[in-house]
Structure 1
Amino acid sequence: MPRNRPSSIEQLPADILQKLQALLRDPRVNQLDATRRINGILAEQGHDERVSKSSVNRYAVRMNEVGERMRQSRQVSEMWIAKLGTEPEGKMGRLLNEMLRTLAFELTEKVMASELSEETLPGVIEQIKNLSLTSMRLEKSLSESIKTEKEIRKAFAEEVAAETEVVAKNAGLSAEAVQTIKNKILGIAEK
């Protein structure tokens, strides 16, 4: 069932919300202490609203769940990036596209389960759109980077082959042997 109004935590002023987040990240501070401190800050600053222990707990649980999903996503991404770092460029793009499809599927599930409200849905859709554009730009950039790297390797190999030709001829190698060496150097650059 969608929430119709923001929680008391979501209604906190941005600076106080940041203080709550810092308190919740601090392992020395329990949720009860965090609740007391935030309510103290609210009172000091003349705010009428207060946060409850249960709202702080719900917020902490939600943030921990989000943090865990981010850690898992980062681990999976690192694993695939490490594997695909040696693979052709198109595989990275396919991985990113698959991740976007998964996000879109999860979003659809949340909409069907009424976990997203009419207010939050446009923001989530905008984020997925931005991720899609970023993915497209990243793949294009990766492709251009690989193309540039190949051009640099080829130019370097051609320079090495030319210098090797001079040295080999001066060493008395036959024209056929010199050409074989040059072909090997230039063949390595094509890989």
Structure 2
Amino acid sequence: MGRKSTIDRLPKDVREQAREQLGDGGPTLSEVRDHIAAAGAEPPTISALHRERQKILKWAERARQAREIADVWASELGSNPESKAGKMLQETLRLLAFHAADEMAEQRDAGEPINVKAFSALARSFLAIENGARISQERERELIAEGERRAAGKAEKTARSMGMTADQAKQLRLQLGGAGAA
């Protein structure tokens, strides 16, 4: 594991104030550095402050994207939550897994060794997400086919009760389409 950054080594209250200022985007990096020095702490370099600002902005962008995705899914779930809740969960898990992969890439780029157990767990999570999506799609196809079979059965019963011949009932099923049409 690598050393703590100069930002992480600041006293907690000074570090939190510095991160708040860096996230606001208002003060310049020099002003943030001067504020840290005025608080009695060893000020980090402008480069370190810039890296921290980039990290904060990247995190803020991820949070914004997650909120947008959540808003879209919330609006989609309004009409039929049962069939779409699983899809929302899959997308959320997929987003989290990609963020974890991104964090691992950042650690690797910083020269830190990759945690093999964490990497293995991440790979398993991707497999589980995709397996869950496949199972969900299969189940959805099964439900549609079952609905089509039931509709075809009802159409046939209705056709017979109306006195239609077998050919007329078949023609009705073909016009309705679905699994029972063949």
Place the TM-score, normalised by the shorter chain, in its bin.
0.5 to 0.7
Aligned counterparts of 1:4 and 1:34: Cα–Cα separation in 2: 25
> How many residues of Structure 1 are paired with residues of Structure 2 in the alignment?
142
Shift of 1:4: 6.4
TM-score, normalised by the number of residues in structure 1: 0.54
Which of 109, 125, 131 does residue 122 from structure 2 map onto?
Answer: 131
Letter in 2 for 1:11: R
Question: Does the CA-based 8 Å contact 1:31-1:53 persist in structure 2?
Answer: no
Distance 1:116 1:26, change over 3 A: closer
1:29 aligns with 2:27: yes
Distance 1:29 1:116, change over 3 A: closer
1:144 aligns with 2:142: no
Matches within 5 A, 1:52-91: 52-54=44-46, 55-61=48-54, 63=55, 67=58
TM-score, normalised by the number of residues in structure 2: 0.56
1:157 aligns with 2:148: yes
CA root-mean-square deviation: 4.0
Question: Does the CA-based 8 Å contact 1:154-1:186 persist in structure 2?
Answer: yes
Shift of 1:53: 4.7
1:121 equivalent in structure 2: 113
1:12 equivalent in structure 2: 10
2:42 equivalent in structure 1: 50
**Aligned-pair identity (%):** 16
Aligned counterparts of 2:144 and 2:117: Cα–Cα separation in 1: 40
Shift of 1:140: 0.9
